[in-house]
Chain A
Amino acid sequence: MSKISRRDLLQYIGAGGIGAVGGVLYGEGVQRKVELLIPQVIPPEDYSPGVATWYNTVCNQCSAGCGITVRIREGKAKKIEGNPVHPISQGRTCARGQAGLNALYNPDRIRTPMQNVGQTGAGRFVEISWDEALTTVGSRISRLKIEGKANSVRLLSGQVRGHLDELFAQFMDLLGSEHYQQYDFTYPGTIRAANRISFGVEQLPYYDIKNADFLLSFGADYLGTWLSPVHHSLAYGHLRQGRAGQRGKTVQIEPRMSLSGASADEWIPARPGTEGLLALGIANAIVGAGRYLGSDRDQWSVALEAYSPSVVSGKTDVSEDIIVRIAKEFSDNKSSLAIAGGAAAAGTNAVATVVAVNALNYLVGNLNQPGGVIFNSNSAFSTMPSSNQASFQEMLDLVDAMESGEVEVLLVNDTNPVFALPDHVGFRRAMEKVALVVALSTFHDETTQMADLILPTSTYLESWGDDAPDPGVGFPVASISQPVIAKLYDAIPVGDIVLSMARQIGGELPVSMHWSSMEEFIKDRWREEYVSRASDGEDQDFESFWRAALEAGVWGQPGAIDSDPSVPSSASIIASIADPESKFAGNESDYAFVLHPYLTATFLDGRGANLPWLQEMPDPMTSVVYGSWAELNPVTADEMGIREGDILDIESPAGSIRVPALIFPAIRPGVVAIPIGQGHAEYGRYAKDRGVNPINIVAPLMDDQTGDLAWAATRVKVKATGERLHIIKTGGVSRTLGRQILGPSNDHS
């Protein structure tokens, strides 16, 4: 026997030689992957044991688009921090952003493509290969395309921005289908629509909280869940203590105290659904007291005539004194800013409410001023398709289309409509009528459960992409999302799946969508942007720009405010003022309580519920973990004889849920608040069968103008069932009991 040196042996093993020979002899296909006996004799680039490397990318836990930087050691992601040079996050993160690693290394990730072999919804999935999966989808779609039925292919995605959005649009366009839509429960559609009506621009402006002296928030939990919480928190810190000798004041108007309400100087629990009226009452007081000096003062007076503080006081249950005082403070401060969101922008009057709040901003002249509403310039990307966000009405239309058999193929990417729409909408049932439901998802949730085919997608930490944050920061910003570690399992980033599908379908698709990978596509698009922006004499070296942009994770043009700095005319704002009082489902005599579902800083709309760090993170206001609860005012609860932990039956005209009671001192009597996020029937071990989903009992009322779900416009009845449940809280004593632990001068309890 010839001598085999150690090096040769390693080479054999390295090439899988010995195993392969054995395999051939016994006539078995050796399926095992080649594994190196001594891994990484030649270490990959950027890999030295014990030394951490950092990669910049974009967080995808909500739609704010914070830049993050991820610490990598030995090829594993160890920690997420904010990207210090990113204008949105400025080196900071929120709890959800931190928990991104729980998504990456989640034990419940889908690891291979799967096919449903049982009845739809029964969850009998078997593993299949990518070839098989893509062939199934590709052949089905190309047949429909040939038959001229491309419109029966629908793509429903979660909120996607940047060039992935363009890729989706292009894919559906080339296919010949007009049905590419996005659905995100948190999408601020009503705010955008209101801004179009008031200001003529359908966008999210930059609300300059940082430089405001007086912030008046109508239901917008800007510190917890609204639009861009990390950026707003940075701004809030500055508003409070960032300017020597000047401390900004904040006022929060909402029926149930949110994180932002807890931090506010003044918390005003106005009657739910009347927030817009209150805004108009304040506007009336501003104009009436001669605090508005515009030449069209008289027109304003006429438009606001019906909203005198005394009338508004009766409807909103906010005293006249407070309305007049807020009006005075709002117009006296140098930079005052009013914002609206949350439940105030989720009634049947949502758009009218935001329009009323916009009027306040106009009256104090803060448009395009520091500390006011600053309109965002055009997006950093020039070729963006317009928003495809589906309203609730359009989701109902989709359900109808599915029910009537119009939909042959439904592609669902990273959205969970079965959870985020009320049960009675029947999305789940309608999915059964669709011949082929393809779920592109990282996790197995209620929607993938109904799929015929599951294509596992990689997380944002393993994918290429880019983003133009919305709302922006007043100047063009674009971020690059890059894989920070090698991708895990047999999952593929969604952009690459779309490109593969295009190749599979054939025809003109692979010709127009010729990129071999998402990386190539993104780079190609950035090159185009770079070339189109580079002016004469500027450095034309794209490669070095690209490297620099990748390293920084973000590109921006501070100072390049190319939007129209002129202020919209008041005539359109005056004309747009409509009576902003919300209607409610259910009459007051039968349904005594207003249901106040709210997005939580922990799970947002439920997407964070599968992350164990977030399940163990106490709810910021109540310290509850691992479950759902219904908040009641202490006096109300006392009158009804309800104690903490009593299981309540909460019934709306649309359905009922059972949830334990929690006595919450900062909620309006007659309101019952239930956090959104728990109540998953699927979604992995940490989320499954835990708590309830209040969206299920939301009645199908919509905002009059946008057709968005009015999720804060449902009345309910509340009764105790007699059963009890132990609510898990981090507990502790909720009063300082004179211990002066909040500071010597700040203890009044």
Chain B
Amino acid sequence: MSTIVEKFRQYRKPGYYEKYDYHWAMTIDLDRCTGCEACMVACQAENNIPIVGEEQYAMNREIQWIRIERYWEGEYPNIKMNFMPMLCQQCDDAPCETACPVFATYHNQDGLNTQIYNRCIGTRTCAVYCPYEVRYFNWFTYTWDEPLEQQLNPDVSVREKGIMEKCTFCIQRIRIAKDLAKDDDRRRVRDGEVIPACVQSCPTEALIFGNSNDPEAKVTKMMNNHRGYKVLEELNTTPSIVYLTKAHS
């Protein structure tokens, strides 16, 4: 136990992730996002997210690793709608990680906030601690009406009742890209080799993903855009996702 706690303290020190090859990050350009929700369905397809059904949905038990939040501004006729894609911010100082009594959620060396399903005992504490409300709980073992289960992605575990789950930045795709790089005798994957499902589908190219430890990566450059900001930054969660605020003509 003491070693776990020691390691835990170590990786929460600032600058810890810069020592490693990767620090996965994303930028979301709100000036491009149209709220079309292609990302949501792409994520559902890639990550075996269950169809919870009308009854469960009515009890707010839907599971959406990425969702679109809607914010109205003004009143008719001078009214504006703002869309904001919201997903796990992969915080470097994630409140959910400190909360888990069994270390089911932890930070890996790629800067990812990771959920170990086998370790999770379903206390749901992490969901309470998360200020972004992006952690979802499996209230039941959901099933797929035959033969919809044939679509399930074999690279992603299907979760059971009592498990918390959330966006993984499509860790299975990261894994595959790393394996391919290793086969090629490359130390690092190239920029653009890993594309999470949401980023790949986005028809306006609002989402950009990459390794922010690579100064040449597209995502690193976008993160330095003057429109960039982090959501609820004042909570010191140090998110890995940078949003680019809407521009005006």
Chain B contacts of A18 at CB under 8 A? none
Q: Which residues of A contact B71 (CB under 8 A)?
A: 734-736, 741-742, 749
Q: How far is the CB of A719 from chain B (nearest CB, A)?
A: 22
Instruction: Give the residues in chain B near A97, CB-CB below 8 Å.
Output: 38
Chain B residues contacting A748 (CB-CB under 8 Å) are: 73-74
**Stretch in contact with the other chain, from B97-105, B113-121, B200-208:** B200-208
- The contact sample of 24 A-B pairs, CB cut-off 8 A, is A78-B152, A92-B205, A94-B36, A101-B151, A102-B148, A105-B151, A236-B32, A236-B34, A236-B204, A240-B31, A241-B29, A247-B249, A262-B35, A262-B81, A269-B77, A612-B148, A613-B51, A616-B44, A731-B60, A732-B69, A735-B72, A743-B243, A743-B244, A744-B229
Inter-chain CA distance A77–B246, complex, in Å, is: 37
The answer to whether the Cβ of A10 comes within 8 Å of any Cβ in the partner chain is no
Asked if residues A743 and B35 are in contact (CB atoms below 8 Å), the reply is: no
> Which residues on B sit within 8 Å (CB–CB) of A620?
35-37, 68, 83
Q: Which residues of A contact B147 (CB under 8 A)?
A: 105, 107, 488
Please tell me if the beta carbons of A685 and B36 are within 8 angstroms of each other in the complex.
no
Q: A666–B42 Cα gap in the complex (Å)?
A: 28
Chain B residues whose CB sits within 8 angstroms of the CB of A612 once the complex forms: 51, 145, 148
Asked if A741 and B40 sit within 8 Å, CB to CB, the answer is: no
Query: Would you list which residues of chain A between 226 and 272 have a CB under 8 Å from chain B?
Result: 229-230, 233-234, 236-237, 240-241, 247-249, 257, 259-263, 265, 267, 269
Is there contact, CB below 8 Å, between A617 and B148?
no
Which B residues contact A (CB, under 8 angstroms)?
29-32, 34-38, 40-42, 44-46, 51-52, 54, 57-58, 60, 62, 64, 67-77, 79-84, 145-154, 197, 200-206, 227, 229, 231-232, 243-249
Q: In the complex, what distance in Å separates the CA atom of A734 from the CA atom of B76?
A: 15
**Residues in A630-683 with C-beta less than 8 Å from chain B:** 633-635, 665-669
**Which residues of A does B touch, CB under 8 Å?**
50, 73-74, 76-82, 91-95, 97-99, 101-102, 104-107, 223-224, 229-230, 233-234, 236-237, 240-241, 247-249, 257, 259-263, 265, 267, 269, 488, 601, 612-618, 620-621, 623, 625-626, 633-635, 665-669, 685, 726, 728, 730-732, 734-736, 739, 741-746, 748-749
User: In the assembled complex, which residues on chain A have CB atoms less than 8 Å from the CB atom of B245?
Assistant: 742-746
Given contacts A101-B45, A618-B37, A749-B71, contact A241 B249 (CB under 8 A): no
Contact status of A742 and B205, CB under 8 A, knowing A78-B154, A80-B45, A613-B44: no
- The answer for the CA separation of A105 and B52 in the assembled complex, in Å, is 17
Question: What chain A residues lie within 8 Å of B201 (beta carbons)?
Answer: 81-82, 92-94, 98
Instruction: Judge whether A635 and B81 touch: CB under 8 Å.
Output: no
- Asked whether, in the complex, the Cβ of A263 is within 8 Å of the Cβ of B57, the reply is no
Cα–Cα, bound, A746→B30 (Å) = 11
How far is it, in angstroms, between the C-alpha of A77 and the C-alpha of B151 when the chains are bound?
6
Give the residues in chain B near A78, CB-CB below 8 Å. 151-154
Task: Give Cα A77 to B52, complex, Å.
Answer: 22
For B145, what are the chain A residues with a Cβ–Cβ distance below 8 Å? 107, 612, 685
Whether B232 pairs with A742 at a CB distance below 8 angstroms is: no
Q: What are the 8 A-B residue pairs with the smallest beta carbon separation, nearest first?
A: A743-B245, A237-B204, A233-B203, A262-B81, A98-B41, A249-B249, A92-B203, A107-B145
Q: A91-B200, A237-B206 are in contact. Are A79 and B46 (CB under 8 A)?
A: yes
Check A233–B74 contact: CB distance below 8 A: no
Inter-chain pairs besides A104-B151, A233-B36, A633-B76, 14 sampled, C-beta below 8 Å: A50-B154, A77-B151, A99-B45, A230-B203, A234-B203, A237-B206, A240-B32, A259-B36, A488-B147, A620-B83, A669-B76, A732-B69, A743-B30, A749-B73
Q: Which residues of A contact B36 (CB under 8 A)?
A: 94-95, 223-224, 229, 233, 259, 601, 620
In the assembled complex, which residues on chain A have CB atoms less than 8 Å from the CB atom of B154?
Answer: 50, 73-74, 78
Instruction: Tell me the nearest residue of chain A to B243, going by C-beta.
Output: A743
- A202 to B18, alpha carbons, bound, how many Å? 60
Query: In the bound complex, what is the Cα–Cα distance between A714 and B40 (angstroms)?
Result: 35
Q: A259-B35, A633-B76 are in contact. Are A234 and B52 (CB under 8 A)?
A: no
Q: Indicate if the CB atoms of A635 and B76 lie closer than 8 Å.
A: yes
- Least Cβ–Cβ distance between A338 and chain B, in angstroms: 17
Selected from B44, B45, B247, the residue in CB contact (under 8 A) with A241 is: B247
Q: How far is B82's CA from A50's CA once the two chains are assembled, in angstroms?
A: 42
For B46, what are the chain A residues with a Cβ–Cβ distance below 8 Å?
79
Taking CB atoms, residues of chain B closer than 8 Å to A262 are 34-35, 80-81, 83
Least CB distance from A64 to B in Å reads 11
| CB within 8 Å for A734 and B153 given contacts A241-B247, A743-B245 | no
Q: Which residue of B lies closest to A78 (CB)?
A: B153
Contacting pair A741 B231 (CB below 8 A): yes
Do A234 and B38 contact each other (CB < 8 Å), given the known contacts A616-B57, A618-B68, A633-B76? no
Min C-beta distance of B46 to chain A, whole Å: 6
Q: Are A105 and B148 in contact (CB under 8 A)?
A: yes
* CB-based contact A107/B148 at 8 Å: yes
Name the distance in Å between A43's Cβ and chain B's nearest Cβ: 16
